[in-house]
Structure 1
Amino acid sequence: MPYTPSGFFCDRLIRERERRDGEGSLNKPLRFNGQDFTVLRQESLQRKTLFEDDSFPATVESLGFKELGHKSNKVKNIVWKRPKEICENPQFIVGGASRTDICQGDLGDCWLLAAIACLTLNEKLLYRVVPQEQSFSEGYGGIFHFQFWRYGDWVDVVIDDRIPTFNNQLVFTKSAERNEFWSALLEKAYAKLHGSYEALKGGNTTEAMEDFTGGVTEFYEMKEAPKELYKIMKKALERGSLMGCSIDSLVPARFETRTVTGLVKGHAYSVTAVDECKPSQQKDSKVRLVRLRNPWGQVEWNGPWSDNSKEWTTLSKADKDKLQHQSAEDGEFWMSFEDFKKNYTKIEICNLTPDALEDDKIHKWTVSVNEGRWVRGCSAGGCRNYPDTFWTNPQYRLRLLEEDDDPEDNEVGCTFVVALMQKNRRKERKMGANLFTIGFAIYEVPKEMHGNKQHMQKDFFLFNSSKARCKSYINLREVTQRFRLSSGEYVIVPSTYEPHQEGEFILRVFSEKRNTSEEIENRIEADHPVPAPASAGEESEEDQQFRSIFQEIAGDVSRRSEFSLWCVSQDMEITANELKNVLNRVITKHKDLNTEGFSLESCRSMIALMDMDGTSRLNLQEFRHLWNKIKQWQGIFKHYNADQSGSINSYEMRNAVNDAGFRLNNQLYDIITMRYANENMNIDFDSFISCLVRLEAMFRAFQAFDQDGDGTIRLSVLEWLQLTMYA
C-alpha cells in the first residue's frame, strides 16, 4: 500500500532516532502501539479493574477479515473469556514451559506452533519472548506482555487476557494442561502484532523462528541436502538453533492430510533432538535418530523407532533414558535419520545472532542490517530481466574484509549469508496484499571504483554479469542463501521479480568474519552554479523578446494599484501571476515541451526561491537569474525527454536531478517520485521545474542556517513554519 511522506517518512525518522537512543534493543524494546506494560498494569491495579486492550479489542475485527470476519458463521458463537472464567485455578506456566504446552486449535498456524515448540528447547530464548514475571495471582491485572523481533527491532507487545472460546473451550492454541495459558496468550500477542488471528493462517516456520530470535534461516531441500546434513543438524541444535521441517503437498486438496505412516503432508513439524544409539544386535555401527514433534499434540509416525515399535526393545535402559523415550500420544516421536530424509522434503534451520550466542565461544556472527523500500516509479525496478529499470533498485555496497580461517575444500574466500526479507505483507493481507516474488543479485565492484559510493548506473549492469545471486526469485517473506566470495567490494541489488511493485524490506548480511554493508548514495549535497548575467550585447533574440515582455507586463499601469505604480516607478517588479504570464508566453514557443504551462503555485515557489528582499515580487535582475536557471534545467529536461513525449519517466528522474547538481539518497528520490510524478509515473515540465526550484530553495535555506557547516541545524517552530510555508 502507498505511504505519504508526512506519514511514512516521519515515522521512519522517528524510528531512526529511537535506534540512536538505544531503542529497539533486547534491553530496551520498542513499545508496540506506544503501550507501556509496567504503567498499564500499575494503573489497572490502582483502579482495581482488569485491563482491556482497546488497540486489540475482544471483537470480530481482532479475529479476522474473511474466514473469521463479520460475514463468517465461524465467529457467531465465539465468546471472549478470561482464564479465570474458563477454569478455577488458571496458571501462566505449569511445571515449566515445554513442547506439550502447544496444541493446535482451529487456526492454520501450525508453522507458528512448530516454532514455539522449538523455542521451549532453549530456556534462555524462551524467556526473552515470554517474560517470567507474570501470573494470575500476584500482581494480576488482566494484562500480559511478550517480546518479538520485528524487522531489526525488538518490540514489547501488550495484551489483555481475554481469549476466544467456544463452549468454554479455547478456539485456538491451547495447552495439554487445561489450566495453563502461556501458549494461548503468546499466540494472541503474535496475532496482535500482525493485526488479527486470521493473519496467522498459513506460513513458514522460519518466519516465527526469526521473530522469536532475530536469527537468519537457511533451507535445505532433502533431495539436494549435503552429505554432512546430520552433522549440520546436530551442531545447530547444540548451538541453540531452532529447526523445523515439512513434507510438501503437491495436490492442494491433500493439504494437511495424514499418510499411512502417520505423517502429515503440507504440515510443519519441529525437530527437537538428534542423537545416536547402539542396538544390541549391531556390534559396531550406531543408528542415527531424529526426534520430531507434531504441533497438533497427536498424530505420530508409526514406522521404525515410533513410540511402540520393536526397535526400542533392542536398546538398554540407559539408552532409552538418554533418549527420553516415552510411549504417549503427545505428538512427539523418534525416527531414523534415513527415514527422516526419505519422508521429509525440506528442513529449515534458524541460526542465531550474536546476542543469542553469548555462551558460544566457537561461533559468532557479524551482522549488517539495512532497511530499504521499493517505490513505484523510482526504486521498484524489478529483476535483471528489466534492464531499463533494474539499475534503479536500492543498491548496497558490501565489503568483505577477512577470509575464512578454515576454508572447506581448500577454497579461499569469505563465507557469508544474505537474507532479504519483505516487510508487513502478512499484516496487510486484509487489504489484499500478498507476498511479492523477491530475490537479489551480487555484482563485483571494479577496483578503480572501490570507495566510490555512487549509485551504479544502467550501463554497469548491461556490461557486467552478476558474481552471485539467489537460486531463484520466490514468494516467501525472506529469501536467504550462503555464498563464498573473495575479499573485496560488491554491490547487492535486492528486487521484486516484476517492476513497479511497492513495498518495504530489510537486507541483512551475516558472516563469520568482518563485513560491512551500507546503502549506496548516503551523501546529500548540491552544487549552486550561479549563471553569469548576460550583458546587453550578448542578448539572444529570445532574451530580447523576454525583456520586452517583462517590461510590457511589469509596466502595464492599467492593472496596477497606486502602490504598485510606485514600485514600478522605483524598479519594475512582477508578481507570481505576472511571472506565470511571462513564462507561459515564452514556453508556448517551445512546441517540443508539450506542456500546458506553469501553474500559479509553481510561480509562487519560483518567486520564493529568488525573492531576496521579501517583497514577494521579482525585479528584472532576479528574474534574469531565474530565467537562466530555467533554461539550464530545460536543457536537462529535453535530454531525458528524448521521445519528445513532453515528460520524463520517473525512473530517469534521479539522473536528471543529478545533472542539475543535486546528489540525493534513495529516500529523497522516493519522495520526489511521490510528490511530482503522475499516475503513469511520468513527470511533466512544470513538475520538473517545480521540483528543482524546491530543491534549490531548501538547500539554500539549510546552508543559511548551517553556519558552522556541520550538516545539522536547530530551528524553532516559528522558523520551521516560516521556512516551509513560504518555500
Structure 2
Amino acid sequence: MPYLYRDSKPRPPALPGAACATHSSGKAYEELRQECLRRGVLFEDPDFPACNSSLFFSEKPPIPFIWKRPGVSVLFCSPLSSCHKTDTAALWDHTKRMALNGSYEALKGGSTIEAMEDFTGGVGEMYEVKKAPDNFYEILEKALKRCSLVCCSINISSAVESEAKTPFGLIKGHAYSVTGIDEVSYRGRQVQLIRIRNPWGQVEWNGPWSDNSLEWRSVSPSEQRRLSQAALDDGEFWMKFEDFKVHFDKVEICNLTPDALEDSTAHKWEVTIHQGSWVRGSTAGGCRNFLETFWTNPQIKLHLTEKDDGQDDCTFIAALMQKDRRKLKKLGAEMLTIGYAIYESPARDGHLGKDFFRYHPSKARSKTYINLREVSNRFKLPPGDYILVPTTFEPHQEADFCLRIFSEKKAITEDLDENVAIDLPEPLNPTPSPQETEEEKQFRALFEQIAGKDMEIAAEELQYVLNDVLKKTKNIKFKNLSLISCRNIISLMDTSGNGKLEFSEFKVFWEKMKKWINIFLQFDFNKSGSMSSYELRSALKAAGYQLNNYLLQLIVLRYSDEQFQIEFDDFLNCLIRLENASRVFQALSVKNKEFINLNIGEV
C-alpha cells in the first residue's frame, strides 16, 4: 500500500480539530449544492457511498438494507439542536464515524480513550492506578482544571465478572467518570478526595466519604457547601483518594485541544502538531534495535523554553498516532507496533546520522512499543532542545502518522529535515600535461581502437569502454553499466551537442566517476555490488547533494529494488540526473534564488 509523503512546508491550512481529509475537502455546503444543481444530480458522498461496502467489507450484511435520503429537517437543523431526539443525535455521531473510517465494520474493537479522542480531537493518556506516578493527584487536578475528560474503571478477570458489584458498591468493568478532585479539612488535617460519577445513577460507593458516611459530620457546613456534598447527582459520590487508588485499576484522560474549550477557560494546553510518513526504503527505519536504519526515521526537534509554574522542568505529553488504519483495514492493513524515543539535541542542525544514535542514549521514550492506534506518554524534562524520533518497531513498515505535543507552556517543534542544497566541486578543466599518465594512454589506445581518428564515441561504444575498464578493476564488484546510463553520461558531458563524447570530455567524466565509485564502495558495506537504500542520504551528501525526505523518497522509489538495494548502475544514473538538474536550475536561476520560473518551452 503506497503512502504519499506530505511535505511539511509549505502546506495548506490545517483542518479544524481532528478532521480528516476527504474527497470533498475544502468545499462548503453551498459550493457542493451549486455543483449538484449544475449537473442535475442529487448529492452522493464519495467517501461514504450508499452501498453494502460502506457497512461491511469482509462479510455480507445480515439483512438487506434500504438506503434512504435524510429529510429536509435533518439537513437544515443542527444534529445536536433541541429539535432532535437524543437517539437521533447519537445516530448522526455514529454515522459520521462510519463515514470517516470507511465502513461500519471498521468500527469494530477499540477503547474508551479512542472513542473520546474521535469525538473531541483530544489526546488520550492511560494510567494503571497501582503503578501511577507519585504526582498522580496533581496530574488529575490539572486535567480537570483544563476541562479534560477523565474516566476510571475496575478490571475484570473473566466475562463472568463484567458488571459485577463489589461489597463497596462499585461495579467491575464499568466506565465511571471523574468529575472533581479537592482537599477537605478533617480533624485538623487535610484529606484528598476525588468525586466519581456512575452514569447509571443508581449504585454508589458505600465506603468512607460516601454520601451518608460518618466522616461528613466532622466537616464544617461551609466546607460541605463548597464541595456541594448535599447536592450531588444520583450516582455521584466522593471517596478518599487513597481508597480510590486501592479500588480502581485504570484511569483514562482525554486532554482537550484549546479550540474545544470555552474562551473563558483559564487553563489550556499548548498544542503543536506534526504530520509525517514512514516510507519503505527511505524513512521506515524501525526502532533503536535496528541501528543501521533507525537514524533514517523522521526526526522532530522539540524546543522546551518555559518551565512549568513553580517547577524546574517542563511538562509535556507526546502522542504518536498512526493514521487511517481502520479505513485501510479492508485492504488487509493491521495496526502497526509503534513508539518513539527522545534524545537531547546536539548543537548542530540537520538530520542526525547513525553515529549520533550509536553513542548517545535516549533521555526519554514511550513506555512501550504497542500495536495501538496511538501511543502517548507524559514527560518532565529540563528546558532545552530535544530530538523526538517516531518509529514503527520493525523497519520497512509504511504508514502516515501524526505527532501531537501537548505542553503546559509553549513549545516549538520543527521537522529536522534537510534543506535541499548542492555543494559540487568546480568543473574540472585539467591543464594539458606534457606526458600522459599510464591510465590515459590505455584509454587513448582504447578510444582509437573503437572511435577512429575523430576520437568520438557514441553511447554503445562508451558502454563497451566503461565496462571493459570496470571489469579489470579488482576492488569493484559491479554488473555491467546499462546503455541508458551511457546515454545519460553523454547527455551530461557532451558540450558540442552532437550526441557523442570526445576524448577530452571522457577524461573529465572519468575523474568524476572515480569519485562516485569511491563513494559507492564506502557505503557498500558487505562489498556485494549494491548499497542499502537507507544509506542513500549519506551517499548523496558525500557526493555534494543534500536532499529532504520528499526528494529522497522519490529517488528511492525510482532507483531501489524490492530488497531496498541500489546497484552502482542505478546510483550512477541518479547522480547524473541530479547533476543535470542542478546545472539546468543554476542556468535559469536569477541571483541564486531558491526557485525558478519555467515556460512550456523550457519544460
**One fold, TM greater than 0.5?**
yes
Distance 1:679 1:391 in 2: 21
Q: Is the 8 A contact 2:258 2:270 kept in 1?
A: yes
Distance 1:395 1:18 in 2: 18
Q: Is the 8 A contact 2:278 2:284 kept in 1?
A: yes
Shift of 1:688: 1.2
**Aligned position for 1:65:** 57
Shift of 1:671: 2.3
Cα pair distance change 1:382/1:539, threshold 3 Å: farther
Partner of 2:320, secondary structure, is strand
Of 279, 282, 287, the match for 1:375: 279
Distance 1:286 1:546 in 2: 88
Shift of 1:426: 2.0
Of 267, 288, 309, the match for 1:405: 309
Q: Give a deviation string over 1:624-672, Cα, whole Å, max 9, x none.
A: 2222211110011122224221111222222211111111222222222
Distance 1:310 1:482 in 2: 34
Q: Is the 8 A contact 2:192 2:240 kept in 1?
A: no
Q: Is the 8 A contact 1:401 1:488 kept in 2?
A: yes
**Aligned position for 1:531:** 428
TM-score, normalising length from structure 1? 0.70
Q: Give a deviation string over 1:498-531, Cα, whole Å, max 9, x none.
A: 2222222222333233332222233211112123
Q: Is the 8 A contact 1:442 1:491 kept in 2?
A: yes
Cα pair distance change 1:479/1:578, threshold 3 Å: same
Distance 1:687 1:337 in 2: 69
Shift of 1:54: 4.2
- 1:683 maps onto 2:566 in alignment: yes
- Matched AA of 2:251: I
TM-score, normalising length from structure 2? 0.84
Distance 1:586 1:52 in 2: 64
Q: Give a deviation string over 1:420-452, Cα, whole Å, max 9, x none.
A: 222222221122222222222222234xxx2x2
**Aligned position for 1:443:** 343
**Aligned position for 2:179:** 273
Distance 1:28 1:504 in 2: 15
Of 500, 506, 512, the match for 1:629: 512
Moved more, 189-198 or 46-55: 46-55
**Aligned position for 1:602:** 485
Equivalent runs, 1:122-521 vs 2, <5 Å: 177=86, 180-226=87-133, 229=136, 232-233=139-140, 235-248=142-155, 254=159, 257-260=162-165, 269=175, 271=177, 273-274=179-180, 288-293=194-199, 302-304=203-205, 322-325=231-234, 336=239, 341-342=245-246, 344-357=248-261, 359-360=263-264, 362-407=266-311, 412-446=312-346, 450=347, 452-521=348-417
- Structure 1's unaligned 5+ residue stretches are 95-126, 137-174, 279-283, 326-331, 556-568, 721-727
Partner of 1:471, secondary structure, is coil
Distance 1:245 1:538 in 2: 86
Of 24, 32, 39, the match for 2:15: 24
Cα pair distance change 1:667/1:52, threshold 3 Å: closer
Q: Is the 8 A contact 1:593 1:685 kept in 2?
A: no
Partner of 1:210, secondary structure, is helix
Cα pair distance change 1:574/1:334, threshold 3 Å: farther
Distance 1:81 1:679 in 2: 47
- 1:699 maps onto 2:587 in alignment: no
Moved more, 675-684 or 505-514: 505-514
Q: Is the 8 A contact 2:494 2:501 kept in 1?
A: yes
Shift of 1:394: 2.0
Partner of 2:327, secondary structure, is coil
**Aligned position for 1:668:** 551
Q: Give a deviation string over 1:168-191, Cα, whole Å, max 9, x none.
A: xxxxxxx7x5xx523212222222
**Aligned position for 1:2:** 2
Q: Give a deviation string over 1:98-139, Cα, whole Å, max 9, x none.
A: xxxxxxxxxxxxxxxxxxxxxxxxxxxxx8xx686x989xxx
Q: Is the 8 A contact 1:242 1:351 kept in 2?
A: yes
**Aligned position for 2:187:** none
Of 427, 438, 449, the match for 1:552: 449
Shift of 1:340: 5.6
Cα pair distance change 1:287/1:649, threshold 3 Å: closer
Q: Is the 8 A contact 2:298 2:389 kept in 1?
A: yes
- 1:56 maps onto 2:48 in alignment: yes
Q: Is the 8 A contact 1:93 1:182 kept in 2?
A: no
Shift of 1:303: 4.9
Higher RCO, 1 vs 2 (CA within 8 Å, ≥6 residues apart): 2
**Aligned position for 2:463:** 580
- Matched AA of 2:50: A
Shift of 1:680: 1.5
Q: Is the 8 A contact 1:366 1:510 kept in 2?
A: yes
Cα pair distance change 1:357/1:462, threshold 3 Å: same
Q: Give a deviation string over 1:228-258, Cα, whole Å, max 9, x none.
A: 656644553443222334554556xx39944
Partner of 2:566, secondary structure, is strand
Partner of 1:79, secondary structure, is coil
- Structure 2's unaligned 5+ residue stretches are 185-189
Shift of 1:419: 2.0
Shift of 1:711: 0.6
Q: Is the 8 A contact 1:90 1:181 kept in 2?
A: no
Distance 1:709 1:323 in 2: 71
Shift of 1:678: 1.4
**Aligned position for 1:159:** none
Distance 1:45 1:685 in 2: 58
- Matched AA of 2:231: K
Cα pair distance change 1:31/1:600, threshold 3 Å: same
Q: Is the 8 A contact 2:20 2:100 kept in 1?
A: no
Distance 1:607 1:16 in 2: 36
Q: Is the 8 A contact 1:245 1:347 kept in 2?
A: yes
Q: Give a deviation string over 1:520-543, Cα, whole Å, max 9, x none.
A: 233211112123436355644333
Cα pair distance change 1:554/1:463, threshold 3 Å: same
- Matched AA of 1:274: G
Partner of 2:67, secondary structure, is strand
- 1:655 maps onto 2:538 in alignment: yes
Q: Is the 8 A contact 1:255 1:266 kept in 2?
A: no
Q: Is the 8 A contact 1:416 1:511 kept in 2?
A: yes
Shift of 1:266: 6.4
- Matched AA of 1:65: F
Q: Is the 8 A contact 1:290 1:337 kept in 2?
A: no
Q: Is the 8 A contact 2:195 2:236 kept in 1?
A: no
- Matched AA of 1:413: D
- Matched AA of 1:57: P
**Aligned position for 1:167:** none
Cα pair distance change 1:42/1:311, threshold 3 Å: farther
Cα pair distance change 1:40/1:373, threshold 3 Å: closer
- Matched AA of 1:396: I
Cα pair distance change 1:54/1:396, threshold 3 Å: closer
Distance 2:67 2:494 in 1: 64
Cα pair distance change 1:2/1:355, threshold 3 Å: same
Cα pair distance change 1:715/1:189, threshold 3 Å: farther
RMSD: 3.9
Distance 1:693 1:256 in 2: 68
Partner of 2:361, secondary structure, is coil
**Aligned position for 1:153:** none
- Matched AA of 1:464: H
Cα pair distance change 1:628/1:83, threshold 3 Å: same
